[in-house]
Amino acid sequence: MKELSKYKMGEFWNKLLSAVAMAIVVAVTPGAIISPFITGLAKHSAFWETILNASNLSMYIVPVAAGVLAAGEFGFNRIEKASVALASLVGSGAVAFDKGSWVLVGMGDLINTILVIAVAIVAVFLTRDFVGSFSIIIEPILCGTIVGSLGLWSYTYVHMISTGVGSVLNAITKLQPILMCTLIAMAFAVIIATPLSTVSLAYAIGISGIAGGAASVGVTSCFMIVAIATFKANGKGVSLAMFWGGVKMMLANFVEHPRMFIPIAIVGAITGFIDSFLNIQNGSAEAGFGQPVGPIDSFQYMSGNTGTNILILLLIHYILPILISLVVYWIIRKFPKLYNSNDWKVDIDK
């Protein structure tokens, strides 16, 4: 109990959410990047079909990987890590019992998975001092059976809520694409610059289609404005890292200088507004990534001329965000109370 009490509530959830986010990124990346390129080939070749299946199969590891990584964040031993992973898999909803067989049905419900992992971690903390050498027997039963069963009972209700939120957002975006694409892109542009994971959020609420496309475009726009704003203060290396998604390197800067969110939000909103006229789409598993995963996934939802589609994706994910970022950066520099070049200095030695 003493070991659990040393973690503040915010620190506990930050460790847990960071671990889950990393599990999703690792598991989804192979399918998100490889699948669009070889799906056509897989229809005519057993070799490419195997590669496609291997890439897509990675996503099913999310509950297990999330449990192991989260347990690792709290210094758990091997038995405890495996036990938390058991609870995560059982309670995630990723595996369903159907007509006498267990069937993989996806990554499960992410919100329920997070809750189950949290309960499992707390359960281990509360019992580890009493089980001693019996941990190899008691902890798998405690986590896999008891906590896992709680997850199975809660899954139906939690999944109903999480999918309901996503369905509402997706429906409203279809009815009001200009407003919603603008707001979603702006929100995700800001969220990617916080400790929260846009990948986890997008998947948890099931945001997809046009709404998913706006989210991906928003994340990309953050990469571009931060890359441009950090160039003068840090040089090419740091700027390039931001371009490819390393914006969380600057979490300390964002917390210390919240005004940095202003240009990020502006670029996200403008880019999202333009995106609303292009109908860029993404799946929920890829919506929170930004470039390069975002445009690669979007391509498979597009019809018509291949060259035109590629040009559109280059325009909305690269050309326009860069141009908009340059203009916003030029304007914001004229307001000293809103912009200070030292805000964007990254101390890479920390």
Q: What is the pLDDT of residues 115-167, one digit of tens each?
A: 999 999 999 998 888 888 888 898 999 999 999 999 999 988 888 887 787 78
- For residue 1, the model assigns a pLDDT of 59
pLDDT tens per residue across span 49-105 = 899 888 888 888 889 999 999 999 898 999 999 999 999 999 988 888 777 788 887
pLDDT over 80 (residue 254): yes
pLDDT over 70 (residue 199): yes
pLDDT over 60 (residue 238): yes
Residues 6+ apart with CB under 8 A from 5: none
pLDDT tens per residue across span 15-59 = 888 888 788 878 877 877 787 778 778 888 889 889 988 888 888
- pTM to 2 decimal places: 0.75
pLDDT over 70 (residue 349): no
